Every structure is written in structure tokens, then in C-alpha cells.
Amino acid sequence: MPEPNQPGIERPAALAPRGPSPPFYRLVALFEWCSKKKLELRRRYLASWFDNWRNFVGPDLYPVMRLLLPQKDRERATYGFKEATLAKAFISSFGMSERSPDGQSLIHWKRPEENTQKAVGDFPSVLFQVINARSSVMQGTLTIEQVNNLLDDLSSSFRVSGKALIDRVFKTFAQECTANEIRWIVRIILKDLNIGMKENTVFGVFHPDATDLYNSCSNLQKICYDLHDPKHRLNASDKCVTLFQPFQPMLCGRTGATAESVKLMLADKNDKGFIMEEKLDGERIQLHKRGNEFFLCSRHIGKDYTYLYGNSYDTGSLIPYIQDAFHPMLQDLVLDGEMMVWDPEVEKYLPFGNLKTSALDKTPGPGRPHPCFKIFDVLYLKLKGAKNPTILTERTLAVRLGALKDEITGPNGKRTRLFREIPGRLEFALQRIGKTQKDVEAFLQEVVEERGEGLVLKRHLSPYVLGGRDNTQWVKVKPEYMDDMGESVDVIVLAGEYGRGRRGGRISSLICGVRAEHLREDANEATYQTFCRVGTGLNFEEYDWINKKPWKKLNKNKFPDWMSVSPIGTDDKGDVYLLPEDSFILSVKAASINSTEQYGCGQTLRFPRCKGIRHDLTVDDCLTKAKGMFIAFAPARMRLNHHVCGFSPAKKRKTIVQKRAIVSSAHKGADLEDIEKQSSLFEDMKFFVTAGSVRHPSHSLVPLFISRRIHENGGTYSQLKSTEGAYIIYGGIDDTLPVVNIKKKGEQDIIKAEWIQDSIAAGTVLPLAKRFFHYATEQRQSDLDYLSGETTSMDVDDEGEPTEDEDEEDAKPSKFLSAHRASSSKRALIDDDEDDDSELPNDVTSLEWILAGRNSYDDTKDSWNTEVKYEDVGDFGDGSATESEADEDDYDFIDGHDAQSQNLIQGGAGRGSPETVGDNNGDLEMGEDSAAHTYDPDRLFRHLVFYLDSPKNAETHGMGVSAKPGVREAAEKEFARIERLICENGGIVTSNLAEGKLTHVVLFKRDITRRVALMRMTSIPKRRHLVLTSFVSGCVDEECLLDEDAFAP
């Protein structure tokens, strides 16, 4: 069934254009400048461009906004084109042959070729280089309106399969646009402009209320029409949830250690408890009801799924079955929840990939899998007879959950609930009340026993922040296993090593790497650092595929320039290697990430095991070194391994103290783990953070600390020091090799980490004075900011902005990196980047549009602050705004009727908590000893410890055994065979469930009645894998360790 078109909004007559649509190349000039310039200039250019549009064309900026933010354009939700189809379309429109060198360059745009195209991995750039020599168009003739019309045709042609229309559109592009304009049109079609400006930046320049309005309606067209006047401000009611308008939902923060998450939930003195909710593996869906009409959509640009689930009680795969779920007095509502697939035959939820198939399935029968909507929040209510609806987003979570359990008096005088569960169709998400870490662990145990994937913890005083992602309000918690750090990593295969014995003559071990910075002068060639060695997890078929790759003999005295190996280690040197373009991605899981000198990136995986080959990923998708650092040093990982970086637990604490010593005075003594997201201070700014000397452990930890501070304040940290516009940050003292190389080239500044800290403390990006530089280029040394020496302090308000009584001219230098550039003439702005190779506008008018205008945008004023509003929500030090709402009396809030909600904080609903076994007496590492780091390919189960759930062992532990005829005998025979396989392949079998190094519990398929009991008894200090006996047999047959999930009982 095709997806419906999004209904458009009729443009108000007052917004009709007063002048002609500008040429498209004028917008391209803005793209070029914004993609090359720094943040403070991008915002000014964009504001000036908007002003000129309003002056010469009219107040309606929707034609521009949908090109600036193509990913937010619901009117053109999809084009149906990816790089492969675009390549063929342009090959045809330019009269090329697919077999020609240029045609092959487009079709295989990810594959580098010798002595041909320099651009690799970026299709628009490859396309530009191919067609630039073929195009005879010197200046484009299409207007912005015409480009929009052609893109509309392209989008509609996809829906009606109009090949003739597609050909006409692409031929028009080829005949009327320059190669550079086509490059930007392709970026728009692919919905990725890559100009260094996020939607919040564009919205903030467009109108101070644009972000809030978008979060409430997800409609770019509505924003442009309702906020066409920059001086008109919306009322609070205009930014609320509205019926049949898709809003941006509140999201969970990053996963942390359980103890850290609980600490965040109870950080406020008014927090008496928190909500624990089962994390669901479905699709986030919002359900709107207006009378007997329904609207359902996803979180992504409000994609309409009403056609799947039904718009009334007569249509769809869901709505006809939930009519009895709503009280007759319930007129209108908006629910937030998760759409799952329930299979009544096996009585369990199916994986997410089955959702659309089940929703479209019209096969009759009660036993067919079908959608089930799980409710976890309510945001809007209106009862029949009420004058006004009740908007619940500003209410606390406790109040909102209470509303879901409300009872009201109906026409017959009886009190009944507003919502009633329909099993398998509409249900409440499983929730509990938590007050301690033990509560979380107990509920997590219960969820895992029911084959769930984890929990979401929510503060009971938290409001519902549209578009918010605040890790102090909602956080995720996932289970941890003895041999699994909680998440897998995607790494690139760099080299291979031939096996020995029965594995001889074939590649059996793979040396994998992570992507690092560009070290070669050719910026298109990425550098990869060796990271780990994987020798198990793949089957015969996969190894056969790997051995057929074009391997090259590796000269261990001269490694390829793009491969960085350990200067002293031997673990990361193989016999053969693959070129990056011939390589592939492996998904690898491991027990932890540890520091080491044996691999090029300074880290490696402990007990890595391959989960599979990622045929859906390219080498560009591999793990970066910074991401590996984040995983290694995240609190949850630190708790899994007491020897990260070679420090004992006591030394870890000492290291953290050393790390705090570099923090500015505004933050000294603060607990780093408690620092919440502060601002959008560094939004759209890119940073490359380089490590200090390994001789100074505290310096080597600076990148982790500074990267986190940058991220918490809106910045982006890059792994490429050559990234355009990136600031290189260094927290060390001695000159490391990367620092020496940067100085030697003399092309890039090296800024001290102190600048980051002092800027955060001041609440504004400070000018780059001399004291902030570890190294300054000759060009930088002539800059006014550099020469100005120490900067003067300034007063800032609670939001980090200059105070209102501060002189405007005094505020600007502290907000922008260069006061000189901020106030310079147009010529000075052009001269600011003399070595900038970006295209300048080819006409004076385009330059005027970018550099001239009323300059109505002034980001030193609060009204134009582009900082995301939700970052200010959830201050633990002030509970006054929500404290009163926690009172029980506050539940009687529904307009028109009396309502008595159940106080969820005083008594949670749902299944009881399971028993817990003992306390966590500390973590034990898997493996024979602390020096063990890898599996042995010749002894498959070495370092693994198995408990066999045999009848004899079960009786020893006081557990019942199946009395079914023949089951005991079959189980004993099977376990005898399994024990022999384990021992023959280097594993250890124990009958002690309390064994600290236990990794696997093996069950017999015909008797899994002890599954839950075994899960509970082996969950401390970390969980063990429960598998069927077929796991052991399968591993031996395939000669590799298989994924346990496929063998779960």
C-alpha cells in the first residue's frame, strides 16, 4: 500500500511574493560560504540572506527553508533516489555510457581509482568532478522557484513511477545548471547539505520561536507561515501539543552505569522516587484521537502511518480493535507510546522488522501477528462537555501517569477508568516505582527474564519536553554480561594472518582497526589504526568469502601509509592486508576495552568475538578512535573492568582527581559525572582533541574529559585534524609526535584545553588571546584577538548570555571569536580566509545578499538565543516549579469532571519484584588470568566456564526436575556429550553456580523450567548467557563461537 501524500497548508494571501524569485545560484553562494566559514559568520550570512529575501521577494521564506532543511520537508517526504539511481540518471542525462571511465566513477563512487577522481566517498563531489568537464553551462538560469517545482515533480514521479517525467527533470538540471549547482541539488535530494548548520541554528536565525513551534508541529511550512514576521512572538499556548499535529517526542539520554543513573534520578531533594519502565523494541508512535477520528505518526518528521493502523473504528490493523479501550466520555486525546508486533500463537512480541508486514497483513484469523500499541505517556485530554482541553506536557510525570489510571463518574453513576487495556492490542507499558539501585537491578532482572532488552528510568517530577533529550530526566539502563561490555563495535578489517595446523594455508585471524585522523597530505585518504585481533565468531562460509578477497602480501618493514601499527607490539602485524576499498566491516563484541601498547590506537578489545560481517555498511562506517575512547572510559565500562589503563580502582579515583585539576576555577571540585548539559555554546563548532604524552597519564585522559565538555556544550569533536574549520585542542605539556607534525607544517593553530574550560565558565566563546595557544601560526600571530592579550571579564546572566545593561558593542567581542571580523567591512570579511578555496559568488548581488542586510540577527540578545530550550529543564537545585504538582490533590485537574488519580509514587502497579541473590561484591574478569585478552582459535572454549543444567546439578541446588517420561535419561545423555565437547575444546565445566568466572549456563531443550531461577541465581556480579545445548554443538561444528542470542531458551 503506498504511503499517502502529506497535506499542504494554503499560503496566506498576505504572504504572496512581491518580487520575482531569485536565481538559484544566489542560494548556492550562501551554501558555499556557510560550508567554509566559521559559526559566527554563518549565522550572520544567513541572517543577512533572510533579510534580503524579505526585502526583495516577500515575507514567505518557505521556498528557501525547504532547500536549507531538506530533511525536515514533509511535503517532499521522499524522492526514491539514492546514490546508485542518481548516478544512472545523470549518466543518461549527460549522454554517458555506464561502461565509460566516468560512468564507472559515478556507479562505483565509493571506490578510489588511481590517477582519476580525487573525491572518493562523497557522491555529490564525485559527480561534480565528472560533469564539470562535460557541462557547457557557465551560469545557471533556474530560479529558486523553478528548482522547487522540479524537485516537486521528482518527488511525485517516484510515487506514480513517471520515468518520462524523471528524464525531463534531470535533463533540465543538466541543461540549465552548472556542475556546482547540480552538486548542491543532489545534496538536497539526498537530504544532507553538510554545510555545518543544524536545524536549531537555522531556526534560531529565522525566528526565536521557530524551534519550539517545530517541536510542537513538525511542520516546516507552518513555521514559515506562522512566524513570517521576526518581531512577532508566539504565546505559550501556540507552542503546545495540538490535535492531529505531529510533535517531536521527548527522548532518553545516553546510557550510563546503573549507580550513576539512579543518582541522577534522585539528585533533587524533592525526588522521593522515580519511574522504572520497560524499554520496548518497537517503533515510537504517537496516537491522536478526535471524537471517532484517529491520526498516528512516527517521530521522524511526523511520518503519517494512519493508512496502516486506521483513521476510524472501521479501518486499519489497530483502531477497529481498540474501540472499547476509551471511556465514552473521553472526547479527545494524544498518547505517546511504542508500536509492537504481538504474536498470539507463541504469546510473545516479534522483532521490530515484522511491524509493517503485520500491519499490512489482511489474512483473516485470530492467531495472526498484529500491531499492539504500548502506552507510556499521555499529553492531551479533553472530556465531553469540557470547555477546554487539558495540556499535560508541563505537568509532572507522576501526574501524567496518574491520568492514565484515572476513574470518572459516567452517566450511569458508576466510576470507571478513562483507559482500559485490550490485551494484545492496546496495553500500558510495564512500570514500577524505584527508590534505590537494588530496585532498578531487581526490575531489570524481571524484564530480562521476560526476554526484554532493558529499562528506562524517569524522574517522577519531570515535565514532558517536546524535542528534548535530557540525560538528567530520562535515561536508559541495559543489562551487562560477563563477556559482553553492552554494545558491539563496527571495525574495519586491515590485515589477516594465516592459521596453523588444521587451519593452515587459510586466513584464520583478522586484524581490525578504527578510523583515525587524516595523516596524509591527500585529505581524501583516511588513516586507520590497528585495534584488535579477531579469530572466532565466523563460520566456514564467511571465512571462505573472506579468503577470496584480494589480499596483498604485507611487508612488515614498510607498512602502507594509511595503516598505523604499534611501534613495539607484534600482535597487530599480519601476513597479508587489504586495501581500504577492498575491505569490509565486522561487528565485534568484547568483554571490555583496555589500554595497550600492542596496537596502533593504544587500545584493544579484551576477548573480542565477531558477531557477523556487516554487508550493509561501508568502510566509512567503521568505529572511530574517539568513539572507542568514549566506550572505554564510560562509567559503565569502568565498572566492568577495574584495570582500564592499568589502574586499580583506587588509582582510578586518583586519576579523576588529576583530571579535575585542569578544570577552570568555575568548576573546581565539581563531580564530573554530575555535570548536566549546559548550553549550545559550541553549537556548529568542530574540534579535534589530541592526546598528551603517554608518560603523563593525566594528560592522556584530557581528550576524554575535554571531548565530553565540548559535547555537553553543543560542540562536535572530530577525529580528523584536517576537518575544515576544526579547532585543534591540546591538553598536554610536552610536544607529542602529532603536535610536532602540526607545528612543522605551520598551517594550523594548537589551542590549549584551557580555552574550552574558560569559555564554559564565562558562558560565552572567548576571543582567542595569546594565552590560549600552545602553538600559533604566523597568520594567527597577526590577529587582533591574539595581540590583545588577556581578555576582560564580563557579567553573564543565568543563561550564559551578556546582561541587558551591558553595552552592545562590549558584548559582541566576547560572543564571537573575533571582534575585528565581526565589525569589519565586506572586504575584510572576504580577506578573512585568503587561503579559502571555496567558490565566491560570481556576481556582486549574491555577495551583497550574504554580506549586507539589516543585520536584524543579534545573538547577543536573549530573544535570538538559539540554545535549545530543553537544556534548561531539570535543574536539580530548583524543584519549586514542580514540587506542588507532586501533591495528591493536584491529580484532580481534568476540566469538567471530578477525577481521582492513583498516586503512582506511593504504590506502583504491575507484577511484583523478583528475589535478588546476594549483594554485588565486586566485578570479576573473565579469563584464566588478567593477562588473557583473546580467544584461542584452536581451543574454542578456552577462557569460558560452563554450568550444565543437568538433572543431577538441579537436584544438588534444590531445584525440581521434569517428571516427563524419558526426559531425565535424554538430558543426562545429552549433557554427557556436551561436557565432553566443552572439555575437548578447552572449556571448563563447573557445578558451582556461584563460580565468579562463570560465563554460560547450558539448558536442555526439553526441560527449561529452571530458566528464570537460573537467570536470577547467576546475575551477580554480571549476567551469564543462558543457552541451549545446541549452542555448544553449533560452535564445534562451525569451529567458531556463535552468537548466543540465537540459542536462547
Asked whether residue 95 carries a pLDDT value surpassing 90, the answer given is: yes
Which range in 166-180, 548-562, 1001-1015 is most confidently predicted, on average pLDDT?
166-180
Identity of the residue numbered 911: R
Asked whether residue 330 carries a pLDDT value surpassing 50, the answer given is: yes
pLDDT bin (cut points 50, 70, 90) of residue 934 is: low
> Phi, psi (5° rounding) for residue 758?
-70, -35
| pLDDT average, residue stretch 722-740 | 77
**What tens digit of pLDDT does each residue of 227-269 get?**
999 999 999 889 999 999 999 999 987 655 778 888 888 888 7
Asked whether residue 47 carries a pLDDT value surpassing 50, the answer given is: yes
Identify which of 574, 541, 674 has the alpha carbon closest to the alpha carbon of residue 260: 674
- pLDDT for res 722: 67
**What tens digit of pLDDT does each residue of 628-675 get?**
665 554 433 333 333 333 333 333 333 333 333 333 333 333 333 444
Q: Rounded to two decimals, what is the model's pTM?
A: 0.59
pLDDT bin (cut points 50, 70, 90) of residue 352 is: confident
Asked whether residue 870 carries a pLDDT value surpassing 60, the answer given is: no
- For cell 584495570, the residue is 643
Lowest mean pLDDT, pick from 138-142, 719-723, 763-767, 942-946: 719-723
Residues 592, 507: Cα–Cα separation, whole Å: 25
Residues 574, 586: Cα–Cα separation, whole Å: 17
Q: Hey, what domains does the chain have and what are their CATH numbers? A: 82-189 (1.10.3260.10), 282-428 (3.30.470.30), 489-640 (2.40.50.140), 656-823 (3.40.50.10190), 945-1047 (3.40.50.10190)
- pLDDT for res 241: 95
Collapsing DSSP to helix, strand or coil, 502 comes out as helix
Alpha helix stretches (DSSP H) within 798-878:
808-815, 819-823, 826-831, 844-851
283-290 and 293-298 strand pairing: antiparallel
| pLDDT average, residue stretch 578-604 | 84
Q: Which residues pair with 497 in a beta bridge?
A: 509
- pLDDT for res 378: 97
> Which DSSP symbol is given to 499?
B
Residues 713, 682: Cα–Cα separation, whole Å: 6
Residues 353, 342: Cα–Cα separation, whole Å: 12
Q: Is 922 left (phi over 0), alpha (psi -120 to 50) or beta?
A: left
Asked whether residue 3 carries a pLDDT value surpassing 90, the answer given is: no
716-717 and 686-690 strand pairing: parallel
Asked whether residue 504 carries a pLDDT value surpassing 50, the answer given is: yes
Packed helices 210-217 and 199-206: angle between N→C axes, nearest 10 degrees: 120
Residues 155, 174: Cα–Cα separation, whole Å: 18
- pLDDT for res 641: 37
Our CA angle for 656, 706, 815, nearest 5°, is 135
- pLDDT for res 852: 56
- pLDDT for res 119: 58
pLDDT bin (cut points 50, 70, 90) of residue 159 is: low
- pLDDT for res 268: 82
**What tens digit of pLDDT does each residue of 353-390 get?**
778 888 888 776 778 899 999 999 999 999 999 999 99
| pLDDT average, residue stretch 770-798 | 65
CA distances from 955 to 935, 952, 991 (A): 33, 5, 11
Lowest mean pLDDT, pick from 144-148, 536-540, 724-728, 1001-1005: 536-540
**What tens digit of pLDDT does each residue of 447-469 get?**
887 778 789 999 999 999 999 88
> Which DSSP symbol is given to 5?
P
Q: Helix %, strand %, coil % for the chain, to 5?
A: 35, 15, 45
Asked whether residue 115 carries a pLDDT value surpassing 80, the answer given is: no
- Mean residue pLDDT across the chain: 77
- pLDDT for res 883: 35
- pLDDT for res 701: 47
- pLDDT-above-70 percentage for the chain: 73
Which range in 22-36, 56-70, 100-114 is most confidently predicted, on average pLDDT?
56-70
Asked whether residue 857 carries a pLDDT value surpassing 80, the answer given is: no
| pLDDT average, residue stretch 1014-1028 | 86
Identity of the residue numbered 857: Y
**What tens digit of pLDDT does each residue of 266-282 get?**
888 788 899 999 999 89
- pLDDT for res 431: 92
Residues 344, 350: Cα–Cα separation, whole Å: 10
Residues 857, 41: Cα–Cα separation, whole Å: 12
1025-1028 and 474-477 strand pairing: unpaired
**What tens digit of pLDDT does each residue of 394-437 get?**
999 999 999 998 887 766 777 888 999 999 999 999 999 999 99
Asked whether residue 315 carries a pLDDT value surpassing 60, the answer given is: yes
pLDDT bin (cut points 50, 70, 90) of residue 37 is: low
Q: How does DSSP assign 306-336, residue by residue?
A: HHHH-SSTTSSSSGGG-GGGB-TTEEEEEEE
Residue 533 or residue 932, greater confidence:
533
Residue 169 or residue 77, greater confidence:
169
| pLDDT average, residue stretch 98-111 | 86
> Phi, psi (5° rounding) for residue 161?
55, 45
Residue 831 or residue 208, greater confidence:
208
Q: How many of the other CB atoms lie within 10 Å of CB of 40? A: 18
For the CA atoms of 864, 866, 871, 872, the dihedral, rounded to the nearest 10 degrees, stands at -10
| pLDDT average, residue stretch 808-828 | 32
**What tens digit of pLDDT does each residue of 883-906 get?**
333 333 333 444 444 333 333 222
Q: Given the residues 36, 37, 239, 279, select the one marked as catalytic.
A: 279
pLDDT bin (cut points 50, 70, 90) of residue 181 is: very high
Report the length, in residues, of the chain. Answer: 1049
- The reply to whether 279 belongs to the active site is yes
Asked whether residue 94 carries a pLDDT value surpassing 90, the answer given is: yes
686-690 and 727-730 strand pairing: parallel
